Amino acid sequence: MKYKKILFPIGAGDDIEQRVYGALKVAKWFHSHMEIMACQLDPSIVYNMKMTLRGGVLFEEFLKSAKADMKEEHEQNEAMFKRICKELDIKISDKSIDGMCTANFVTHQGKRSAIVEQESKFCDMVVAAVPLNGKITGTFEAAVIKSGKNVIAIPRNLKEFSANNILVSWTATPQSSRALTSSLDLLKRAQNVHCVTSKASLGENAEINLKKLEEYFGLHGIKATFDVVDTTSIPGEALLKVANEANADLIVAGRHGENGLMEMVLGGTSRFFLEHTNIPVFM
């Protein structure tokens, strides 16, 4: 699939420049148009202090100061965005241009998670930086679960992006199956594909199911290698260990739709994985 438009919502945190740089590296690799999206809350709604500040004089002064800070933040983010685009030779444009990597920077007013959920419906793929300490945020959940799109979760300080060496996590769940099929175009382009699974995932007919998995890759002309590993008591630890040992550029993994959590398995929902990964994940 050709990704014509990729959305990258800027979440919370001070490391905005590093996250924008990593996201634009993804757009550059796909030769796609990326929309960098920031969100700001109207201070007059968030801090409605007219009820407690007599006459509203102090409130009006507060609003004036808050809006000035928001304007300065927007200008700083836009200047940073332009600087990175220049460094990466990405054309700034509000529209996709065939054969070129383009990007634009937009700011919306409102609650970030709600806007991300809405705007992500109108793109081909979402890029989301993994949350601090691996703790799922409303913005991350909106991007990964509620968007309904393929997602690449990137480390917060991604320097380079490639999909030449891909690790596929197979857990035999509907989410894992969907991730595998959604990633076929990437897998066909990759130089190396390694599929890792577990005995629990293969079930009672382990040999037969593993053979069927191999046949499915072969059906699409993908020459993959396979590995059956033991999981650990820490969900996500085994997957990350194998990915690092394989020098994977990208991990393909399923996501789980319950409670806004991701499967990313070989073992279940994985805060450990999100907190420690230095490898992007396609879901």
Output the domain CATH number for residue 252: 3.40.50.620
Of 205, 134, 200, the residue nearest 170 (C-alpha)? 200
Domain housing 211: 165-282
Q: Tell me the C-alpha distance between 142 and 136, whole Å.
A: 10
Q: Are residues 123 and 195 in the same domain?
A: no
Residue 105 in any domain: the answer is yes
Give the pLDDT confidence score for residue 119 in this predicted structure: 94
Q: Are residues 125 and 39 in the same domain?
A: yes
Residue 111 in any domain: the answer is yes
Residue 200 in any domain: the answer is yes
Q: Are residues 113 and 194 in the same domain?
A: no
Q: Tell me the C-alpha distance between 199 and 168, whole Å.
A: 15
Q: Are residues 32 and 146 in the same domain?
A: yes
Residue 253 in any domain: the answer is yes
Three-state DSSP state, 265: coil
Residue 75 one-letter amino acid: E
What is the value of pTM for the model shown?
A: 0.86
Q: Tell me the C-alpha distance between 47 and 49, whole Å.
A: 6
Question: Among 120, 154, 188, which residue terminates a domain?
Answer: 154
Q: Are residues 69 and 105 in the same domain?
A: yes
Q: What is the total count of domains within the chain? A: 2
Q: Are residues 15 and 138 in the same domain?
A: yes
Give the pLDDT confidence score for residue 259 in this predicted structure: 38
Non-local (6+) Cβ contacts of 282 within 8 A are 150, 151, 152, 163, 179, 182, 183, 186, 250, 251, 252, 253
Instruction: Quickly tell me which residue has 């499967």 as its tokens.
Output: 263
Torsion sign across C-alpha atoms 191, 33, 148, 115: positive
Strands 281-282 and 150-154: antiparallel
Residue 112 in any domain: the answer is yes
Q: Are residues 177 and 275 in the same domain?
A: yes
Question: Among 122, 154, 186, which residue terminates a domain?
Answer: 154
Q: Are residues 189 and 136 in the same domain?
A: no
Give the pLDDT confidence score for residue 45 in this predicted structure: 57
Q: Tell me the C-alpha distance between 147 and 193, whole Å.
A: 27
Give the pLDDT confidence score for residue 258 in this predicted structure: 40
What long-range pairs does 114-117 form, CB within 8 A, spacing at least 24? Answer: 114/142, 115/9, 115/37, 115/39, 116/7, 116/9, 116/37, 116/39, 116/142, 116/143, 116/147, 117/142, 117/146, 117/147
Residue 81 in any domain: the answer is yes
Q: Are residues 121 and 226 in the same domain?
A: no
Give the pLDDT confidence score for residue 172 in this predicted structure: 86
Give the pLDDT confidence score for residue 234 in this predicted structure: 65
Residue 159 in any domain: the answer is no
Q: Tell me the C-alpha distance between 143 and 127, whole Å.
A: 8
Residue 160 in any domain: the answer is no
Q: Are residues 197 and 237 in the same domain?
A: yes
Q: Are residues 240 and 183 in the same domain?
A: yes
Q: Are residues 111 and 223 in the same domain?
A: no
Question: Among 154, 185, 214, which residue terminates a domain?
Answer: 154
As a residue count, the chain comes to 283
Query: What is the longest distance spanned by two Cα atoms in the chain?
Result: 77
Q: Is 38 left (phi over 0), alpha (psi -120 to 50) or beta?
A: beta
The answer to whether 150 touches 182, Cβ cutoff 8 Å, is yes
Please identify every stretch of the chain with a pLDDT value under 50, giving residue numbers as ranges: 49-51, 54, 257-269
